[in-house]
Structure formats: structure tokens, C-alpha cells
Amino acid sequence: MYELTAVAKHYPRGRTTVTALHEVNLTVPDGGCLVVQGPTGGGKSTLLQLLGGLDRPTRGTVLLDGTDLGSLPESRLTRLRAERIGFVFQGFNLIPTLTARENVETALVPLGTKATERRSRALEALDSVGLADRAGHFPGELSGGQQQRVAIARAVVKRPRVLLADEPTGSLDDSTRDEVMEVLEARRRETEPTFVMVTHDSALADRADHLARIEHGRLTVVRTPAADGAAGETEAGRRGERAGPVEDGCPSSTTP
Ligand SMILES: Nc1ncnc2c1ncn2[C@@H]1O[C@H](COP(=O)(O)OP(=O)(O)OP(=O)(O)O)[C@@H](O)[C@H]1O
């Protein structure tokens, strides 16, 4: 479960600072699913970085299961990320000199998983994304959609409690986008992590039960079934109060 309280993030830029996030309050319960949208430069990636413990807030607290990510020593934060958080990025972020299987295995190395188990779990994960026959291929030998499926296998192989996706279909064409979203959704349903996805894809956002928007660093919940079952900004969001809780109901690429 995530609980964000009065989270602000400032970046230094020359003699000034850029405020990427302002006073963000948000709750995402275990297994919850949130889609985040907003204009470029709005603060979406910054939010995901804070949720993933890749960066620390300037002010406020980001609690994951009660642990304050912003105040953990770097070694514990690294460990927590390795154990609990899976990432899927727009650019796949695969290691070009490793095969698909070896790329997936990299998620298990920091957990001390034995080589034989790493290998079998990586092959299982690749099978689950429809790439059993590509385990020995290097990223350069795979299409964009296939590379992203390898990245999804790498993210879920450790069965993370949290799955964070930043524009996972942003570099893909329409048909590949649907295929990758189907794979991501199937893996999410099976592993049931807390899921937060940033996407510009309005078709996906239209189908999301839980939708938030970040603009100029301010987050508001746009839609949640708890409000009234219909689309529309929530009262709490309008008042800038804590957004959420956000429960299940991610968009499925197969839902019209
Ligand atoms: N490392 C950084 N150093 C300085 N400024 C940064 C840094 N990272 C982000 N910013 C600034 O913070 C603001 C929010 O950026 P962020 O990347 O979170 O936006 P975004 O909504 O993800 O945008 P996009 O949709 O274009 O990816 C922007 O003004 C950006 O220029």
C-alpha cells in the first residue's frame, strides 16, 4: 500500500528550481490499480520515480507498506526495490549484450536466487509472455513489442508487490501496443501487484476505472468508481485532498 502525504519534488536548474510535484496526497491500497495521465512535463515520471524509490521527495513522505522510502539508507532502498518493485519503461531498458533469458534473470540476481532456479523461472516468465522460443535471442534480434514483453517478464519474474509502468506502449505502433497491453494486463491479473501506469494513450485512460491527472505538478483524481460510478473529477480531488483509495480495475486492452 502506498500513502503519499504532502509530497513535493524540486529539481535545481541553474540558480532556480523546478517544482515537479506540489503537495501530492495519494493512497493506493494493496492490489490497487491507477492510471496516471497529464501533459508533458506535468510530473508523471517524477511521481513514478518517487513511488519506485528511484528518487526521494524534497518534502513529504512516500510510505510503501509503512516504510518511508525517502528516509531509507541507499542500501536498504536498493534491496527494497529489488525485492518488491518491478518496472516497465517506455524504452524497454534491456541489456543489449544479454539474451532475453539472461535479461529476465537479472531481476533475480540481487535476491540471491541460485543459477538453476533463476534459469527455470526466467524461462517460465518468458513463456508467460509468449516468448518461450526467443529465450536465446538478443534484444537487437527482437521487435519492439517482443523487447517490451521481455521487459514485462523481467519485471514480474520476482512476483513484485508493486508494478510501475511508464508509457509502456509509448514506443510501439497500434497493433503491437494492444498486444503488449494484453500481456501486461494478463501478468498483472495473475500476480496482483499494486499497479501504477503512466500513459498518454487516451483509449486506455478511457477504459480505466481509476484515473488521475497530473498537471503542473498537481495531482487530482479524475475518475474512481467510489465517486458515483461515472466519469468526473472527484470532490476530494477538486479540494486537493488525499486522492484515493484506488482499488482494482485497470484497463484491459481487450475491453471495448
Ligand atoms: N532530473 C531533472 N532535473 C531537472 N528538472 C527535471 C528533472 N526531471 C524532471 N525535471 C522537470 O520536472 C518537471 C516534470 O518532469 P516529468 O519528467 O516528471 O514530467 P512528465 O509528466 O513525465 O513529462 P513527459 O510526459 O514529457 O515524460 C519538468 O519540468 C521537467 O523538466
Q: What is the pLDDT of residues 46-96, one digit of tens each?
A: 999 999 999 999 999 999 999 999 999 999 999 999 999 999 999 999 999
Decide: residue 97, CB within 10 A, 0-12 exposed, 13-18 middle, 19+ buried. exposed
The confidence score (pLDDT) of residue 1 equals 87
The confidence score (pLDDT) of residue 201 equals 79
Whole-number Å distance, alpha carbon 139 to ligand 1 midpoint, is 28
Q: What value does the mean pLDDT take over residues 131-139?
A: 97
Q: Which residues contact 78 (CB under 8 A, 6 or more apart)?
A: 110
Whole-number Å distance, alpha carbon 18 to ligand 1 midpoint, is 9
Nearest CA to ligand 1 atom 25: 40
Least confident of 88-92, 198-202, 235-239: 235-239
Nearest CA to ligand 1 atom 24: 40
Q: Give the CATH number for residue 6.
A: 3.40.50.300
Task: Please say if the pLDDT value at position 13 is more than 70.
Answer: yes
- Contact status, residue 207 vs residue 250, Cβ threshold 8 Å: no
**88 occurs within a structural domain:** yes
**20 occurs within a structural domain:** yes
Nearest CA to ligand 1 atom 4: 11
Q: What is the pLDDT of residues 205-214, one digit of tens each?
A: 776 677 899 9
Question: What interface predicted TM-score (ipTM) does this complex get?
Answer: 0.96
**Domain range holding 206?**
2-238
Number of domains comprising the chain: 1
Cell numbers at 185, concatenated: 494486463
Query: Taking CB atoms and a 6 Å cutoff, what residues make up the pocket around ligand 1?
Result: 11, 13, 18, 20, 38, 40-46
**138 occurs within a structural domain:** yes
Task: Please say if the pLDDT value at position 200 is more than 90.
Answer: no
**252 occurs within a structural domain:** no
Cell numbers at 70, concatenated: 525517502
**212 occurs within a structural domain:** yes
**254 occurs within a structural domain:** no
Binned at pLDDT 50, 70 and 90, residue 188 comes out as confident
Closest approach atom of ligand 1 to CA 217: 14
